[in-house]
């Protein structure tokens, strides 16, 4: 197989992909309405244009006061303050307000309603407050110029709350169209499936890769265009890829990668531009390829992924997902030994289990590029670098959480 001669290390492959993506994405953004920004990826650092809160606010229902006026107040020694209606306090005055209202000028604390008796023109305070008590101070959440969101961060509901609070109606987010093509005579698109007998009798399998990869793209907050399966026919594959290149910024193919009898995908793609690598010292996921080309005057990237669902899932994870939305990682001890081969990066699906009260990493027993349930049962994965022969029980290892 062609790629056997040209295998590169996972770390080199990753470097090549990430560098190309960085360059490629420099102008791939859209101003997204805040109502639709959830889950998208922020394209630039965002700094706060104002303080938040913008003014000193009451944190309670009660009375704005000058704290010093209330010192020593108690039930047996209530302090009397005159109620005013204007936005400015003099000594021995108070101002009635509700939670969230702006403090009048010269006031510096709020007495909770519970510790007062209201007499319309004056109020009795039966418990003193210190300066800033029950006050949301100007700028305590964000100061003008504070960073709110960093380039590359995924926008959560809490970010939305913060961004809207500082008046952002639109957010610059990554915007990309990604086309997905699966190749293989044996594939049947799910919309063409009648029943299971049809699969068995025709010795076909459902084109599950196109569905999985489409949803993996959707999870990135990017736009996906899934295509119908391409049969193992070089002209057809060429046409399909060209259409996808026309309609998308990036094309992801699965299947036909190993330069076998029917492996026209990589053959056809190689003719289209600059094949940056094909074949990675990686398991699962070895036959990954990556190409840049110009099509119709525009720069395009093509990811050539394996036809095996687990392999293509892992390849997507490592080369695409990790760039756009890196998984959270945690360092935990292993609960058993793991063997690995030198010279190859191994991706091991794992579960997190509780042992002696602490969380530990347990490798899943199932493996194999065909075993999809190894992905649905995994709570994460670990990367065993190519210079390691494995790990020992109790070694602390970084687990990436799925």
User: Hey, which residues between 301 and 340 contact its own copies (CB under 8 A)?
Assistant: 307, 309, 313, 328, 330-333
Which DSSP state fits 378? -
Measured from the CB atom, the residue of 271 and 354 that comes closer to its own copies is 354
Report residue 230 CA to chain centroid gap. 31
Pick the piece of the chain touching its own copies (CB under 8 A) from 6-14, 123-131, 133-141, 175-183: 133-141
Chain positions 201 to 220 lying near its own copies, rule: CB under 8 A, are 203, 205-209, 211-216, 218-219
List the interface residues with its own copies, window 342-361 (CB under 8 A): 352, 354, 357-359
> In angstroms, what is the minimal distance from the CB of 108 to its own copies?
17
Name the DSSP class of 151.
Answer: T
Nearer to its own copies among residue 7 and residue 272 (C-beta): 7
The whole-angstrom separation of Cα 240 and Cα 235 is 9
Instruction: Using CB under 8 A, pick the residue from 119, 151, 169, 239 that binds its own copies.
Output: 169
Residue 89 or 162 with smaller CB distance to its own copies: 162
Nearer to its own copies, 276 or 364 (CB): 364
Q: What distances in angstroms separate CA 257 from CA 182, 229, 361, one per listed residue?
A: 11, 15, 33
Q: Which is nearer to its own copies, 259 or 301 (CB)?
A: 259
Q: Does 83 bind its own copies (CB under 8 A)?
A: no
Q: How far is CA 343 from CA 7, 15, 63, 317, 346, in A?
A: 11, 17, 71, 21, 10
Answer yes or no whether residue 246 interacts with its own copies by CB under 8 A: no
Beta-carbon count within 10 A of 285 CB: 26
| Nearest approach, Cβ of residue 70 and its own copies (Å) | 20
Chain residues 218-237 in contact with its own copies, contact rule CB under 8 A: 218-219
The least CB distance from residue 20 to its own copies, in Å, is 24
Tell me how far apart the alpha carbons of residues 19 and 299 are, in angstroms, rounded to a whole number.
15
Cα dihedral: 334, 340, 328, 176 (round 10): -170
Pairwise CA distance, residues 181 & 305, whole Å: 10
- Cβ proximity to its own copies: between 177 and 379 the closer is 379
Environment class of 393 (CB within 10 Å of its CB; exposed 0-12, middle 13-18, buried 19+):
exposed
Neighbours of 211 (CB within 10 A): 16
Window 92 to 121, contacts with its own copies (CB under 8 A): 98-102, 113-114
Alpha-carbon separation of residue 353 from 44, 335, 338 (angstroms): 38, 9, 16
Under the binding rule (CB under 8 A), the answer on residue 79 touching its own copies is no
CA angle 113, 118, 120 (to 5 degrees): 135
Answer for which of 15, 130, 151, 401 binds its own copies (CB under 8 A) is: 401
Nearest CA among 249, 367, 364 for reference residue 308: 367
- Which range of residues in 74-82, 135-143, 233-241, 340-348 is near its own copies by CB under 8 A? 135-143
- Residue number, 343 or 368, with CB nearest to its own copies: 368
For CA atoms 252, 255, 260, 264, give the dihedral sign: negative
Considering only residues 379 to 398 of the shown chain, the ones binding its own copies according to CB under 8 A are 379, 396
Using the rule CB under 8 A, is 86 a contact of its own copies?
Answer: no
Among the candidate windows 123-131, 246-254, 261-269, 273-281, which touches its own copies by CB under 8 A?
261-269
The binder of its own copies chosen from 373, 385, 389, 393 (CB under 8 A): 373
Helix (H) or strand (E) holding 95: strand 93-97
The mark string for 24-63 relative to its own copies (x by CB under 8 A, - otherwise) is ----------xx--x----------xx-xxxx-x-x-x--
200-207: long-range contacts, CB 8 A cutoff, minimum separation 24: 207/182
């Amino acid at each position: 197989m062609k790629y056997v001669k040209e295998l590169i290390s996972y770390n080199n492959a990753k470097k090549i992909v990430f560098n190309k993506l960085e360059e490629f994405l420099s102008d791939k953004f859209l101003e997204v309405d805040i109502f639709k920004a959830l889950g998208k990826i922020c394209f630039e650092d965002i700094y706060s244009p104002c303080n938040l809160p913008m003014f000193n606010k009451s944190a309670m229902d009660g009375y704005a006061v000058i704290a010093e006026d209330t010192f020593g107040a108690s039930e047996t020694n209530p302090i009397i303050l005159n109620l005013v209606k204007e936005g400015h306090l003099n000594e021995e005055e108070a101002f009635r307000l509700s939670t969230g209202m702006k403090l009048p000028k010269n006031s510096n604390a709020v007495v909770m309603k519970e510790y007062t008796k209201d007499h319309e023109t004056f109020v009795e305070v039966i418990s003193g407050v210190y300066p800033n008590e029950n006050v949301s101070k100007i700028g305590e959440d964000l100061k003008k110029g504070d960073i709110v969101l960093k380039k590359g961060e995924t926008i959560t509901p809490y970010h939305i709350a913060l961004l809207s609070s500082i008046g952002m109606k639109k957010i610059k987010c990554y915007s990309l169209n990604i086309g997905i093509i699966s190749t293989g005579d044996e594939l049947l698109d799910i919309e063409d499936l009648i029943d299971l007998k049809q699969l068995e009798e025709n010795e076909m399998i459902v084109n599950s890769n196109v569905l999985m990869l489409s949803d993996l793209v959707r999870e990135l907050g990017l736009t996906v265009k899934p295509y119908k399966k391409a049969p193992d026919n070089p002209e057809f594959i060429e046409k399909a890829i060209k259409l996808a290149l026309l309609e998308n910024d990036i094309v992801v193919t699965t299947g036909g990668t190993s330069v076998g009898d029917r492996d026209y995908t990589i053959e056809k793609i190689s003719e289209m531009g600059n094949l940056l690598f094909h074949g990675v010292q990686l398991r699962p996921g070895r036959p990954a390829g990556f190409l840049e080309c110009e099509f119709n005057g525009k720069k395009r990237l093509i990811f050539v992924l394996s036809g095996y669902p687990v392999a293509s899932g892992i390849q997507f994870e490592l080369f695409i997902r990790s760039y756009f939305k890196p998984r959270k990682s945690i360092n935990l001890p292993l609960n058993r030994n793991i063997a690995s081969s030198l010279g190859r990066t191994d991706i091991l699906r794992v579960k997190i289990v509780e042992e002696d009260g602490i969380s530990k990493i347990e490798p899943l027993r199932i493996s194999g590029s065909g075993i999809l349930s190894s992905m649905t049962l995994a709570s994460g994965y670990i990367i065993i670098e190519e210079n390691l022969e494995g790990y020992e029980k109790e070694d602390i290892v970084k687990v990436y959480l799925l």
